[in-house]
Each structure stands twice: as C-alpha cells, then as structure tokens.
Chain A
Amino acid sequence: MAEVMAAAEAVHKFVRDGQLVCFGGFTHAIPFSLGHEMIRQRKKHLTVCKETPDLIVDQLLAAGCVDKLMFSWAGNPGVGSLHAFRRAVEQQVPHPIAIEEYTHFITGARYMAGASGVPFMPVTTSVLASDLAKHSDVFKTIDCPFTGKKICLVKAVNPDVALIHAQRADCDGNTQMWGIVGSNREIAMASRDVVVSVEEIVDSEIVRRDPNRTLIPSFRVKAVVEEPWGAHPSYSQGYYDRDNQYYMDYEKTTRTHEENEKFIENWVLGVSNRQEYMKRLGAERMLSLKTKSYYSTPVDYGYFG
C-alpha cells in the first residue's frame, strides 16, 4: 500500500542513479512534476523508457541525467523537433547517449509482456520489412509452432520504477484515470516500484463507487503525490488543457544547449517545487487553460449487499 508524500520525497526515495525509469502518459498526463524533481535532484546515469519522450525527457537529456533512451517517437507533438534529443544523437551534446528504438507497437508489446510476467510477446512481422530490424536486438523471429508462419517475439521490459500522473487516487494508492490512458496500467504492473502523482487525492469511497475506472491497484503503488497541475504543460482531461504555447516556446528557445539550460534554469532549477512553478506560470495563464465542464452521466452499479 502506498504512502502519501511530497514529490521531492517520492523521487528521492524511489528513483536512484543508474536505474531504468519508465514515464507514463501519452501526450495526456505526462508526469512533468516528478520529472522536474529528478532534474532538481541531479539524478544521473538513468536509462529512460518512454514511447514518446515529450518535453520532459528532452529536459532530462539536456540536464545530463540520461545515459540511455528507449523510445519509439521522439518529437515535440504537433510542433516539431526535440532539440536536446537531436543534439544528443547528432552531436553527442551534453554527452553521448545510447538509444534503443522501436515502433509504438513494439514498445507497447514489451510493456505488456513485462506486465503479464512472460519473457516476450509475439507481434506481427511489419518491422522485418523496415530498416529498424537491422538496428535492434530486442526482437527475434521464429516460425510459429502452430501455423509455421514467421512471427516476431519482443522482449519484456520490467523497469525499476514507473512514474505516472493521473486524475485521482485514494490515500492507499488506488489510482483512477479517464481520457487517453496510454500504457499506464501496463507499466505500473511491469515495474518494481510505482510512484503516482494525481490532481487530487479523494476519499476511498469515491474510488470504490466506480471501480471500473481504477487503472492501478493500491498494492502496486509505493507513493502517492497530490500534485495539482502536475502534468503541466501537458494536460489532464477534465482539469486543464495542454499549454500549447509552452510547447511552441520550447521549440523556439531550446535550439542550442545554452538556451536549453537557460530554459531549465527558469522552469525547473529556479523553482523548488510545483507550487512555485505554478506561481511562475501565473494565474492568468492557468485560467486560460481551465476547461469547461462536460460531465458523464453517473452509472448505476447497483448495491448487492
């Protein structure tokens, strides 16, 4: 069962130098607050796994926290390039990194294998027609023992720690999410430790009245962090929109390593926690990102007592 704690404490306790750290979220609900805490705590030699690294992993790369990146699409979604990622791969700045690159499906299948407790997952052979097959050793091709046809097997991933942001959890760590859920359940079940940040901690009764919405059960969660706006500049369905201006500013103002460092100084190292970060963002900008409510109709589970 989870303990409720602050982001700094959770990251200090559960993210160690040299570990394989997996980030949850898929454009939606990216755990920026937990990632920023890793930069502030100067984590080193990490292997980071994220199908879409997004700005958070780009910032970790610029800050020199990452030795190896496992990914399948490294861009600034809808905007352009991730410049720190490109500098690391094209120019080895600030230092060389290793990359392990897949397709989205292969990343998802590797998580699923890890989450299911099996050493691999079979996937169809599309990747064999691509050049990716020549640059990766995480999959093997066999003749299917049932049909005799070729099939690829991709190796399970079991991260040391998964970092996840969601809308709500109870104090025990039962975590509920809606909207685009990405691989959050798979990585939570695959990883050794799980740290969750949420927009709000709610009473257990709220969770138990709507159990279908639970993505991660409490016995899998080590720490719950109540962190409103913890996914900014990405979004939290029903809470706030993506701050597209931030994504566009990042594209324009991180084209050199020095500019990127300045950006990180301003938005990460120059604040001590998410509250200060939000103060820097300002009330006006926060209000502009708030969304109009659009409730679903409550469902009747019935009471069978």
Chain B
Amino acid sequence: MSKQYAKEFSYQELMVTAASRELKNHEVVFVGIGIPQLGALLAQRTHAPDLTLIYESGVVGTQPARLPLSIGDPTLVSGTYGIFNFYETFSMLLQRGFIDVGFIGGAQVDKHGNINSTVIGGYDRPKVRLPGSGGGCEITGLSKRIIIITPHEKRRMVEKVDFITSPGFVDGPGARERVGLDGGPSAVITTMGVLRFDDKSKEMYLCSHHPGLSVDQVKQNTGWDLKVSPNVKTTEPPTVEEIEILRKDLDPQGIFLKKGVT
C-alpha cells in the first residue's frame, strides 16, 4: 500500500512527524513536554505501538488518553504501567543506562548540539532567566541517542550557546569522552529541516530541508555557516493519517501546535 501524503500541513506539524519517525518500535524513550511529547505520542499511535514512554515525573509506560499539559499531568498516571519515585527515575532508569532515546527541546541549540535552557546573557546577571536544566542535563548526558526538536530561527540556532545546560558534543570531538560520557545527539529536527552530526567534526549539517524551502533559506535562518550534505534531500511530508491523528486526536485545541515550542 503506498503512502498517502497530506496536501496541506504546517512546518510545525512536519517537525512533529519527522521527529516521530526517528523513533523505532520497542525503544524506551525519555520524553520532554510540548512538541517532543507530540512526536513520541504520534509514533506510539502509528509505527511504534510498543514504545515505552517515560516522563521525568517517574511515569513509565504511559499511554495518555488526553494531551498531557505538563510532565506530571494526572492523565499520565491513568492507565500507565508503572510509577517510579524521583530519585529512582534518574538513577535506575537513566543513569543505569536503560534509556534508548532522549527526546527533548530547548531555547537555544548550537552547532555541536548543546542545549541552553538556563540563561540568555551571563549567568550572574542574566538578560533572560530561563527555567534551568530540569532533567535535561542527564537526559542528554546519559541517553543512548538524543533527538532535539526546536523551531528553526537564527536566535535559537546559534554557533555557541550562552550556557550549556544539556551537553551535546560540547566543543567537538573527544569532549564527551573526556568526562566519561558516551553517545551524543543524533538528530536535530526543526521547522525547516532535519539535521545530523558529522562523525569526525561532531558538527551539525543539513540532511534534508522541508518541502517548499530551499537550502539557502535554511542557511539564512541558521546562526553559523551551516554545512550541507552533498546528498541533501527534501524531508518526507506528513501522511494524511499522521495529520489526522495530530489534529483530531492528540492536540485538537492546538495547545502545543499553535503555541509553538516551550
């Protein structure tokens, strides 16, 4: 059966569907709220019904019946198969190495995949004080793969973040290993394209641009001289089914899809 692609969709919806496709069935995923959560819930309702979704509130194996508004929403508890306490969640699930994918967003992402959710400006006298790490630092430090989801804007996609809250490849090759960490970010899904990381330089490059956008447009909205894959493609559009699930089932009020990424 050939796929039926949706004729009309937003780049935000495409970001969610592209993120969803990064997840494989049977994986254990540590999920952040907002757009990342929509991607994981979409995967669970389409190609990956046996995903185990874990939220930092300790809920394990959740299949929420309504859209959770926060990482501790009571709908996450209704019908989930387990609940860990706070320390256990981070120690026995994440630190122990049982998380396949960390699936998160961020206010600023840089070319080495570091995420800033702490401050814009200096730490001691910040221009804007953001919420801070939460689970982020250990999610990106300890998950086997990391998928970052963020709107693609010049002020968000920067050469170097103001503050590394959640480490990607830090300043390049060997940096994670120096402090004893494996893994690292594997993809950045934005409103303009799908980006991955060069094995040698650990720098982000454009793998595919979304339909209707040019490589130049993506480069213009990126805060550094973005490298482009010689085989750069157009991102596969959302299917009719995916768009229907997103709009009718997951986020009918457009709480996350209309507001943007938090």
A interface residues with partner B (beta carbon < 8 Å): 26-28, 51-52, 71-75, 77-78, 80-82, 85-86, 89-90, 101-105, 108-109, 111-112, 123-132, 134-135, 149-150, 179-186, 235, 237, 241-242, 244, 291, 294
Contacts and interface: CB of A to CB of B under 8 A. Distances in A.
- The size class of the interface chain B forms with chain A is 35 or more
B83 interface: yes
Given A74-B132, A108-B90, A112-B87, A124 B74 contact: no
A131 B168 CA distance: 12
14 contacts: A72-B134, A73-B131, A74-B132, A104-B138, A108-B87, A112-B87, A124-B180, A126-B140, A130-B164, A131-B123, A150-B179, A180-B59, A181-B86, A242-B73
B11 interface: no
> Which of B85, B91, B140 has the most chain A CB atoms closer than 10 A to its own CB?
B85
B128 interface: yes
Contacts, number: 178
Interface stretch (B64-72, B201-209, B221-229): B64-72
A82 B129 CA distance: 10
A135 B119 CA distance: 13
Contact of B74 (A81, A108, A125, A291): A291
B163 A183 contact: no
Contacts of A244: 69
Given A26-B57, A123-B95, A179-B83, A78 B179 contact: no
A281 to B, nearest CB: 19
Contact of B118 (A78, A104, A131, A186): A131
B137 A179 contact: no
Nearest to B121: A90
B183 to A, nearest CB: 11
B126 interface: yes
A109 B137 CA distance: 14
B245 interface: no
B136 interface: yes
B32 to A, nearest CB: 11
B134 A103 contact: yes
B166 interface: yes
Contact of A78 (B70, B78, B123, B127): B70
A104 B57 CA distance: 10
B91 A109 contact: yes
A183 B167 contact: no
B142 interface: yes
List 6 tightest A-B contacts by C-beta distance, closest first. Answer: A27-B72, A126-B141, A73-B134, A75-B131, A129-B167, A78-B70
A104 B77 contact: no
Contacts of A112: 87, 91
A104 B86 CA distance: 8
Given A26-B57, A105-B90, 8 more contacts: A26-B72, A26-B86, A75-B131, A77-B71, A105-B94, A105-B95, A126-B141, A130-B137
B137 A126 contact: yes
A27 B57 contact: yes
A73 B90 contact: no
B118 A132 contact: yes
Contact of B133 (A90, A130, A184): A130
A242 B137 contact: no
B149 interface: no
B77 A237 contact: yes
Contacts of A291: 74
Contacts of B78: 294
A186 B132 contact: no
A132 B72 CA distance: 25
A52 to B, nearest CB: 8
Contacts of B73: 27, 78, 242
Contacts of B179: 125-126, 128-129, 150
A28 to B, nearest CB: 5
B134 A104 contact: yes
Contacts of A241: 74
A27 B86 contact: no
A101 B129 CA distance: 12
A52 B163 CA distance: 20
B114 to A, nearest CB: 8
Contacts of B46: none
A131 B133 CA distance: 11
A24 to B, nearest CB: 10
B83 A127 contact: no
B61 to A, nearest CB: 14
B33 interface: yes
Interface in B121-176: 123, 126-138, 140-142, 163-167, 170, 175-176
Contacts of A186: 85-87
